[in-house]
Amino acid sequence: MNPRERFLAVTLLGLVIVLGGVGLFHVFVYKPLSELGSQLDTATEQLAKKKGELDKELKEIERIKKLDPRLTFWQKISLPDTASKDPDEINKHLRKVQVDYEQQLNKVLSQAKIRNITITAQPPDLKSGPSLSGTTGANKTPFYKKLPFNIEGTGTLAAFVQALDDFHRMNLLHEVRNFTVTKPQTVQQGASPNELDVKMTVEALIVSGAEKRAELEPPKNDKIKFPPVLARSTADYQSILTHNIFTGSTRGEGDRQYEKAEDVLRFVKLTSTHYNGRRWEATLYDQGKGGAEIKFSLSDYTISKPTFTVFDRFDNAICAGIAIAIDSRRVVFLHNGLLYQLDSGQSIEAALKQPLPYVNFVVGPLGTAGTPKD
């Protein structure tokens, strides 16, 4: 091999080595580094996005905590959770918590004097809420489990107000989702005329990660001061009873309460008049209070003593009248010196708005409202 050929061979070999080195550098160094850089940029973007989402969630959590400080104690006031991941053990725990919570509900309602209590536990709701991050598919874990209950019972408005007050003062993560209170169309035998029918749905939560304890409610601890759950005192909520939409508004004088006359008399109606062969008789009925009918006749007539008297639910005399005449369609009665005509089916409130003309009797202290029955 002459020098020229040797030079060309060495040059060619050098080029092969250089080009091979460049290729190897591209394949084993530059390309992996470029891919790693792209992956790093993507990971940085995703991290920034996740950090932004986390900051947003943390701000939302802080906002919710300010709206309801009780949520800062969610691990303690949640119904107890279980550490087991076994589906059978989880279902067993859910059934136990349902029974314990139902017993606590019954205790609260009974102490408030709600009667005829029926509590029906509904199937736990494990799907409507969000899931814990990082759990998907078969391993998807709900952030919380809802335990709904339907409740029915009867009781006075005072009992219902007391039950709601006691319910919200329990240190548990639960709420009343809806409720209805209705006045029965007829008063059942043995029932108070002021009793109402109550229906409501409540939901309690078991939050994942909550305390694992045997008791339903968190133990009392003087070091932990749970925030107030009601805006007013119990006494303030009891003032609802003075504006009872079912039995009428009341006013208090000392220890005695009264209903407004119009709230009573609009429900007291003339239900029947009849002649028994010797005299005419009439019947009044208080549809608001229920109870016994008010029966009277013309034989009860005396100018100084009322023929009939209507009492409110606190046994205060609201209206007293003297029947002057009774026939098949009406009663004419004297009240506070004026004559009024009460037609069949008409309320006393409506009759008192239209006194009979040109009649004005002055008779003793009749028809005074607010006089105790005793």
CA 141 – CA 147 distance, rounded (Å):
16
- Domain that includes residue 38, residue range: 32-67
Q: What residue ranges of the chain have pLDDT lower than 70?
A: 1, 5, 7-10, 14, 16, 18-30, 57, 60-61, 63-72, 129, 132-139, 187-192, 221-239, 242-243, 247-257, 299-304, 358-374
**Which tens digits make up the pLDDT trace of 280-316?**
999 999 988 888 899 998 765 565 578 899 988 778 8
**Residue 344 in domain:** yes
**Which tens digits make up the pLDDT trace of 137-152?**
556 777 889 999 999 9
Max CA distance (Å), the chain: 160
One domain, residues 234 and 281: no
pLDDT at 255: 47
**Residue 119 in domain:** yes
For residue 268, with 0-12 CB atoms within 10 Å meaning exposed, 13-18 middle and 19 or more buried, which class applies? buried
* Of 67, 90, 120, the domain-final residue: 67
DSSP 172-238: SSEEEEEEEEE--SSPPTTS-TT-EEEEEEEEEEEETT----SSSSPPP-TT--PPP-SSS-HHHHH
Closest CA to 142 of 88, 52, 210, 55: 210
Which pair of tokens denotes residue 166?
Answer: 């006691």
One domain, residues 100 and 162: yes
One domain, residues 207 and 170: yes
pLDDT at 314: 75
One domain, residues 220 and 108: yes
**Residue 20 in domain:** no
* Of 24, 41, 67, the domain-final residue: 67
One domain, residues 212 and 144: yes
| CATH code for position 148 | 3.30.70.60
Q: Tell the residue number behind the tokens 């089916």, with chain if given.
A: 345
Query: How many distinct structural domains can be found in the chain?
Result: 3
pLDDT at 363: 41
CA 13 – CA 6 distance, rounded (Å):
10
One domain, residues 207 and 289: no
One domain, residues 237 and 165: yes
pLDDT at 135: 52
**Residue 251 in domain:** no
**Residue 254 in domain:** no
One domain, residues 46 and 106: no
One domain, residues 112 and 240: yes
Closest CA to 173 of 141, 147, 151, 149: 147
**Which tens digits make up the pLDDT trace of 56-99?**
767 766 766 665 665 667 788 889 998 888 889 989 999 999 99
Closest CA to 243 of 251, 232, 253: 251
pLDDT at 200: 95
Integer Rg of the chain from CA: 40
